[in-house]
Amino acid sequence: MDAHDSTTELTPLVLLVDDQDDTAQSTKSILTPRGHVVLHAATGQQAIDLTGKVSPDAVLVSFDLPDADGIDLIRQLRSAPTVHSSTPILIFSRIELGRAERLEAMSAGAWDVLTHPIDANEIILRLDTFIRAKQETDRVRDQGLTDPNTGFYNVRGILRRTKEISADAHRHQRPLTCIAFGPTPVDTPQLEADETDGVAEAMSKPVATALRDVTRISDTLGRLGPGEFVVVAPGTDQDGAVRLADRVLEALRADSSRHGFGITAEALGQLRAGFYSIDAEDETSAEDILLRATMALRRAQAEDGSFRVRSYEA
């Protein structure tokens, strides 16, 4: 159950700030054939305006510009909301810069200092390394797909993965089941809402442990909220869903006896499961798959212990 999913590498967007046509064209002729999209700004102000509209993956700044000092422009770009701390900025010059100027550029936020004529292979290797690191940092920051306490997918992550898994199941004509697990709510008037959540939250560690012990590598685990989890199981039909849910419930009791967790047997007995299964021809959306599994769980929770596992019924 790896919480990390593979992502398609994005086309790098490079902002080139250079007022000299010859060096600008030379730089673009190096980057464009290698798959980089190059936005050209001839002045510092144009660069500032462009960063108000796009978020570049890298910025190349000329040391000398008609309306700005290159080092001062780097400082301004570093304060722009669309230029992140992970965005590489390189400064270049027609003449080799002295040590003091190089240090000032680095202090302003430049990652490297280049001198024209730029070696094509060198700049491609440097930019590709910098951009890969930047895009991966952006992915982790922007997508935020995992729950920090369990390592399982959070709601956003499990929805995204369910879309991918259901599309794959339909393409390969395989069934798919989504099973939601959660404790029966504590109906105690003396407890405040946050205390009730605390009771449910106490179930998180034992339930997460049981899920890790029982589920397959191909299954995807997510956390919906305090004490509530979901399993998306490709290749699993309704009968398989009941068997999987029962194994989780049995593993919960066994793990609790072995590890303790400080949870009473009565509390463990309150865990319920609801599931929704689709066949190979079903094209139910990921949102509805999760919703229907959750609705089945709510029904199981409301039935006062009659059924521990419930299927979705329209």
**pLDDT tens per residue, range 86-131:** 899 999 988 888 889 889 999 899 998 988 888 899 899 889 889 9
Average pLDDT for residues 48-74, to the nearest whole number? 90
- What pLDDT shows up at residue 204? 80
- What pLDDT shows up at residue 206? 82
In angstroms, the first-to-last Cα distance of the chain is 30
What is the bridge-based pairing of β-strands 228-234 and 220-225? antiparallel
Its sign, for the CA torsion 139, 140, 142, 147, is positive
Which of the four pLDDT bands, split at 50, 70 and 90, describes residue 256?
Answer: low
The 176-183 sheet, strands edge to edge: 220-225, 228-234, 176-183, 271-278, 309-311
Which of the four pLDDT bands, split at 50, 70 and 90, describes residue 82?
Answer: confident
Closest CA to 127 of 42, 30, 62: 30
Q: Is the pLDDT of residue 250 over 90?
A: no
pLDDT over 90 percentage in the chain: 39
Which of the four pLDDT bands, split at 50, 70 and 90, describes residue 180?
Answer: very high
Q: Count the neighbouring beta carbons within 10 Å of the beta carbon of residue 210.
A: 24
Rg (CA), the chain: 27
Quote the tokens at residue 147: 């729950």
Are 117 and 20 in contact, with CB atoms under 8 Å apart? no
- What pLDDT shows up at residue 301? 86
- Compute φ and ψ for 77, nearest 5 degrees: -65, -35
